[in-house]
Structure 1
Amino acid sequence: MTSQAPGGVVVRQEAFASTPADLLVLALDAEQTLRVELALESDQEGTELSADEEERTLWATGTLGNALQHATAVQILESDGTVEFAADGVSAQIHEVTRLVLLVDQTTDYARDPQKGWRGADPAHTARRHLAGAARTGHADLRSQHLTHLTERTSRVDLQGIDSSAEVLALPLDQRLERVAEGEEDPSLERLLFSYGRYLLLSSSREGGLPANLQGLWNDSNSPAWSSDYHSNINLQMAYWPAEISAIPETHEALIGWLIASRESLRRATRNAFGPVRGWTARTSQSPWGGNAWEWNTVASAWYATHVIEHWDHGRDEDFAREIAWPFVDEVCQFWEDRLIEGEEGTLLAPDGWSPEHGPREDGVMHDQQIVRELFEGAATLAEAVGADEIRRDELRAVAENIAGEKIGSWGQLQEWQEDRDDPADLHRHTSHLFSLFPGSHITPATPELQRAAKVSLLARCGLPPTDDGTDQPADSPVPEDFESHVSGDSRRSWTWPWRAALFARLGDGDAAHAMVRGLLRYSTLPNLWATHPPFQMDGNFGITAAIGEMLVHSHERTADGQVLVRLLPALPSAWAPAGSVSGLRARGGLEVSVSWQDGTVTDWSVEAATPGAVGSAVVVVDGQETPIEVAPAS
């Protein structure tokens, strides 16, 4: 970034957060000499500020109210000026400088390990180790290593299409967003939104660390909205929707590892609330230490377990399936086996459920029914993959088959509750009763009645309820132009747009899905492309990446003999149809998918093994035609 310092001096600034070095690197190059002052401040009570002149480092260290120790260090790595530490012992001045490189490390003694009391190494010691390693590496190699590490991951997927005009591409982002808000097209910005979501998840969710929370990794407040927590009723799950389809599966480890670390705390809390049950579940708000708060979101454990199943299904790693996925999923199933109650005609109901954040708590809420069924169906498949006892496999299948299913209501809608009381004028932000459409896998082209009912419900939430006489059901008609403007009120939330985009994509309605992408840009995106709720909330950025992936590839269906069915361009919007390509998307079964198109028709495609455990065969749907394929093992 180029800017001007006081006096009109042109300054080029660069900043990057290096995962290999585990710290921030700040570089400054000026056309004329400058005087730079360095100092640290802290809003945390009891923080001690100090300076180490020999190491050319400023420090801020202390202990938070929860006994968590923290340390911040700023080290001068390179400077062509004169460095002078002030008499106050907590600041420094650099005179006559044109080149300056700073290393910045911020760390705590948090460890993702309850056996160690969630505490690890002394943060100041950790910071010194990071600084010493980075100093030995030097700025040029730090930058090179950072780019190599990040580019290997970001370059796995390449999405191309018709570009915006050169004049539009030359505009700053805020002006491009203003154009879109006024109804103008900017296809390059839509593809940038896809790539940005991948970058943000890669940057805020790494192996061994904590999962991305509501603000990702970018919380800037000591009193953030919702405590910058982990929300288990959609937000945390949405953050990881792009992990598999957009080929960054390693980001999922942070979520799965944190859940494993939290299980003992969750088991205790669950038994305290629900009595002598096996397994565990969670409340809506969760902390890094396994803590729970606010409303019980009883179905949270089942939804989390589906992420573990999805991670396995997209990678087909035998060791992960046997050592991590199966024990995790089986324990969650045990909770639900102890929890489910018998309904009419012997069907099973999830008791005392909630359709977040909507309506009363009662038995058989459709959101819970669908997620629990998805859990047991996936668990049965996983049990077979790991060679679990046949009796156990039969038990899982029996539960899945006996879960009470969806109901279609009086105005053609998919019911949100067992009782038919949905309001067609309800614009609630959640679409919880459509889980089986996405991210679930039960509502597919093989269930056309349920697909149509889901679309009626979805359109109503988007401001297009059916007419009173039923003669013009929106589910049977193309959505209107400027469809995103019909979405109003409570439905205009950063994370509602991506979920609805993915839902429309699963329905095969590319233009409606595209309208939701545009809606996020028009109404819920800040000038830096962060999604805003308000305040800013990263789940919208993560979710829209997954939704765009779903517009291009589906892999949630199975053929009659159980093979993975991959649909190419299932919801390609008219605006993207003239020409485009995508390479590197991941499909279930451990597959990698690439496809090119012209005038809405597939011109080239490939489906290959992405992992050593990939399936050996699949069925690919190309322009509506099913093509069986053999999949060569990954090299």
Structure 2
Amino acid sequence: MKIYWIGIVLFFGVSLSAQQTNDLKLWYTNPAGTVWENALPLGNGFQGAMVYGNIEKEIFQLNEATVWSGSPNRNDNPNAKQALGEIRNLIFQGEYKKAEKLINENIITKKSHGQMFQPVGNLELSFSDQHNFTDYYRELDIEKAVAKTTYKVNGITYTREAFTSFPDRVLVIKLSADKPGKLSFRAHFTSQHKKQEITINGTNELSLSGTTSDHEGIEGKVKFNALAKFKVKGGQINTTGNSIQIEGADSVLIYVSIATNFINYKDISGSEKELAKSFLNKAFDKNYDKMKQAHIAQYQKYFKRVTLDLGTSTASKVPTDERLANFRNVSDPSFVTLYYQYGRYLLISSSQPGGQPANLQGIWNAGMTPAWDSKYTININTEMNYWPAEKTNLSEMHEPLLKMIQELGQTGKETAKVMYGARGWMAHHNTDIWRINGAVDGATWGVWNAGGGWLSQHLWEHYLYTGDKKYLESVYETLKGAADFYADFLVKDPTNGWLVVAPGNSPENSPAAHQGSAVTAGSTMDNQIVFDVFSSVIKASEVLGKNKQYTNSLKTLRNMLPPMQIGKHNQLQEWVDDVDDPKDNHRHISHLYGLYPSNQISAYRTPELFAAARNTLLQRGDISTGWSMGWKVNWWAKMQDGNHAYSLIQNQLTPLGVNKEGGGTYNNLFDAHPPFQIDGNFGCTSGITEMLMQSSDDAIHLLPALPDALKEYGEIRGLKARGGFEIKDLKWKDGKLIALTIQSNLGGNLRLRTPNEIKLKNNKELKTAAGKNPNVFYQTEEVKKTLIAAAATIKPLDINSTNLYDIETEKGKIYSFVIK
């Protein structure tokens, strides 16, 4: 592979040390006790475990990604089609409450509102001889995906180590003591499931079998089997009732496998016992050290693609829970690094090819009836889970979501037809492992029908990063189906003639001017999503050279969508009518979808809308639930306001309870909605990336929102950008770019936006960019002209001056830019 050197290397005095191993550990000097959010998460995308690190009773709380209540089912409400016309008339007449009543009666499902992600149970190890311990330490090494606990009792050092093997799909636990014959404990399974059986197989194997719960009239039919098999060095192993007793061992290995009868969302005919046994048998005779080595190697294949160094300080020398408590008041840049990489760790651990997507809690849940059923909430939360996937070089982790979207594209065809008489496919605001598409919960949430439209953009995003035309061809019909639904569902607003989504809402907000009802027509978010759906299908059709007449029809429809509007408070309007309340601090700011994750609102292409979006953010305020703060980090990064984005990271990295209006972080760095939702973790990892590099608005923008707290120096390697570009190295000092290396995997024009000037070698000037970026992956669709209320006094913002360059690249070559 050739390397093109552009510029000369600049030596700088401050050393950027390699990412320190100690900075990539969560560590503590106390056990988790009885608090689940103190335990440490392990996962391999299929199997999850929470490790408590308790001395007398160690707990490994177990999950498996397909252990859900219920069984294959549909929850469409066929009454919707007949009531649709009357509901629309009421909305257009301003009778929102009456429309809401009809929606609850005719659109919201009369069947299941979605099933629940449920735990398997616990593997518990009881140590009757370990009471007075000292020198306690536990850690989660996110560089290796291994948890470890050490402590001393009566001068003996005990060590416990655990990992969920990526190659072998088993949880492996090693217990050891530094003196022979000192390990004695009782092991047993516990489970909350009503339908369960715990047995002993032979002399060294525990079995927990069960069936998941019935829920909302849907019979639980997922059968699971968890097996724990013990390999003892020295000592004795005996069975007592439904437990296994270890006496006087030198060390013990425990292999835990879990499987279910789930094959896919419509087939649960598998054999959970045969599958669990096959995983266990393949792993049991393997050497522990070699298994651990293979596990780390497969994990690091993903994790080590991106490294981040933001420097360190003395604040990093204390346990993680203390760092969390101190973070708002001290300089601790490496804590940002840890939190950033923890998000990537959680995505790798909860979303693997061939498995299920990360749900509302990733893959970790201890409750039989978790908050919001731990489903896939697709009016923001599921999408946010995958914001880091492409840009932080984890495209493979995106695959389970992309597969789920295609499955929803199949189940959603019937929903579109039965409920709305429309072609294509759709989904409302929630789904589950059975790929339901019907409207759940109530009109305030459930009538929103853009879940499928928003999700479809993930299919398009994956193409924008990879340039894989074969993949694009494989998902084209799903993309097109999302557009077909809107082409049939849109209706003309009698007041202004625009095509609008009706009924819809702006999740999950209810303006007082609409009688306190969330039901509306033509919310700004709906309009933005329809715009993106049409635009991506138009572009995909052009890339694949098909359906020109069809795309022309979509362009016609797109031109009839409402424009974005600036209201009397200089805000981006959330609804078609100017009814925003500047004192509204609702956690959802859904109409800023157009700023992020979409790129319809731009500092350079739509400056008035950009300024209005900032006013909306200021009016809504900072403090909110965890996932909402995660989204706000991304928005303020797009605003190129690094200090504001960083202040939100400080708010997020605050112990639960400090922020009066919710949000914050648990001691194990899980996001607190509260309760725990994993989306805030993923949202912040995405937001930190957006602070350092953006590639959505016509160019790769470097250091667009670098906060003062991180300006001194830093380095990041391995980020991905649209168009197949990879940031092999990006360094800065005193807020200025000092070194840059980019690999072009697809070729084409590389447009760079930089905070300071860069030059070609021999001091030759780079080509200054002008006009549209010729790279097809960066060509944006122009939104309709903004409507500005007569009372508004909006002015474009002063933004940081930048330099814009074009470099024509060749596929597979590396280009190094370093500042003079």
State how far apart, in whole Å, the 2-side matches of 1:113 and 1:288 are. Answer: 6
Report matched runs for 1:365-514 at 5 Å: 365-445=523-603, 446-462=605-621, 487-488=622-623, 492-514=624-646
* Residue 212 of structure 2 is aligned to residue 79 of structure 1: no
What is the alpha-carbon distance in structure 2 between the residues aligned to residue 254 and residue 2 of structure 1? 32
Q: In the superposition, relative to structure 1, how do residues 8 and 242 fare at CA in structure 2: closer, same or farther (>3 Å)? A: same
Alignment coverage as a number of residue pairs: 588
Give the greater-gyration-radius structure (CA): 2
Report what 1:466 is aligned to: none
2:276 aligns with 127
The residue matched to 2:447 in structure 1 has which SS?
strand
1:174 Cα deviation after fit: 1.0
Counterparts of 1:46 and 1:340, CA distance in 2: 47
1:278 corresponds to 2:419: no
What pairs with 1:119-198 in structure 2 (closer than 5 Å)?
Answer: 119-165=268-314, 168-181=315-328, 183-198=329-344
Alpha-carbon offset, residue 272 of structure 1: 3.0
Which residue does the alignment assign to 1:64? 212
* Distance in 2 between residues matched to 1:601 and 1:185, nearest whole Å: 20
Q: Does 1:589 align with 2:737?
A: no
What amino acid does structure 1 have at the position aligned with 2:206? L
Structure 1 residue 9: deviation in Å?
4.1
Out of 433, 438, 459, the position equivalent to 1:288 is 433
Encode CA deviations 1:268-300: one digit per residue, 9 max, x unaligned.
2333322x2112222322110112432133011
Say if 2:395 is the partner of 1:244: no
The match for 1:335 is 485
The aligned residue for residue 252 of structure 2 is 100
Aligned 8 A contact 1:112 1:209 in 2? no
Distance 1:581 1:400 in 2: 42
Note the C-alpha offset of 1:447. Answer: 0.7
Q: Distance in 2 between matches of 1:248 and 1:590?
A: 13
Corresponding residue for 1:475?
Answer: none
**Matches for 1:113-124 after TM superposition, within 5 Å:** 113-114=265-266, 117=267, 119-124=268-273
Which consecutive unaligned segments of at least 5 residues does structure 1 have?
463-486, 559-564
Q: 1:49 aligns with which of 181, 193, 198?
A: 198
Superposed CA deviations along residues 389-435 of structure 1, whole A, max 9, x for unmatched, are 22123223333333212100011000000111111111110110111
Q: Which has the higher contact order (CA 8 A, sep 6+)?
A: 2
- 3-state SS, counterpart of residue 688 of structure 2: helix
CA contact (8 A) 1:27 1:101 kept: yes
State the identity %.
Answer: 31
Q: How does 1:303-318 map to 2 (within 5 A)?
A: 303-318=454-469
Residue in structure 2 matched with residue 357 of structure 1 by the alignment: 508
- Shift of the alpha carbon at 1:305? 0.7
Q: Residue type of the partner of 2:607?
A: P
Provide the secondary structure at the position in 1 that maps to 2:697: strand
Measured in 1, the distance between the counterparts of 2:313 and 2:264 equals 45
Question: In the alignment, residue 81 of structure 1 is paired with which amino acid?
Answer: G
Which residue is equivalent to 2:648? Answer: 516
- Are the counterparts in 1 of residues 157 and 178 from structure 2 also a CA contact under 8 Å? yes
Matched, 1:20 2:167: yes
After superposition, the Cα gap between the structure-2 partners of 1:452 and 1:266, relative to the gap in structure 1 and judged at 3 Å, is same
Q: CA deviation at 1:346?
A: 4.6
Q: 1:356 Cα shift?
A: 0.7
CA distance in 2, matches of 1:533, 1:69: 31
Q: Per the alignment, in what secondary structure is the counterpart of residue 172 of structure 2? A: strand
Question: Larger deviation: 511-520 or 259-268?
Answer: 259-268
Out of 29-38 and 527-536, give the one that drifted further.
29-38
- Alignment of 1:604 with 2:739, yes or no, is yes
Work out the CA distance in 1 between the residues paired with 2:286 and 2:405.
Answer: 35
Q: Residues 6, 578 of structure 1: CA spacing in aligned structure 2 closer, same or farther, 3 A cutoff? A: closer
Whether the 8 Å CA contact 1:408–1:415 is kept in 2: the answer is yes
- Aligned AA for 1:364? G
Deviations 1:452-477 (A, max 9, x none): 00000001111xxxxxxxxxxxxxxx
CA–CA distance in 1 between the matches of 2:403 and 2:535?
Answer: 23
In structure 1, what is the Cα distance between the partners aligned to 2:629 and 2:721?
Answer: 23
One-letter identity of the residue aligned with 2:700? V
CA deviations over 1:172-195 (Å, ceiling 9, x no partner): 1111111124x2222111111110
Determine whether 1:206 maps to 2:356: no
Corresponding residue for 1:467?
A: none
- CA-to-partner distance for each residue in 1:131-151, whole Å, 9 max, x for gaps? 111123321111011100111
Distance (Å, rounded) in 2 between the aligned partners of 1:371 and 1:615? 30
1 CA distance for matches of 2:278 and 2:722?
41
CA distance in 2, matches of 1:112, 1:77: 34
Is the Cα contact below 8 Å between 1:112 and 1:210 reproduced in 2?
no
- Paired letter, 2:548: E
How big is the alpha-carbon RMSD for the aligned residues of Structure 1 and Structure 2?
1.7
Distance in 1, matches of 2:205 and 2:367, equals: 25
CA distance in 1, matches of 2:722, 2:278: 41
Q: Mapping of 1:505-584 within 5 angstroms?
A: 505-522=637-654, 523=659, 524-558=664-698, 565-584=699-718
CA distance in 2, matches of 1:547, 1:109: 38
Q: Distance in 1 between the 2:601 and 2:397 partners?
A: 27
How big is the shift at 1:345? Answer: 5.6
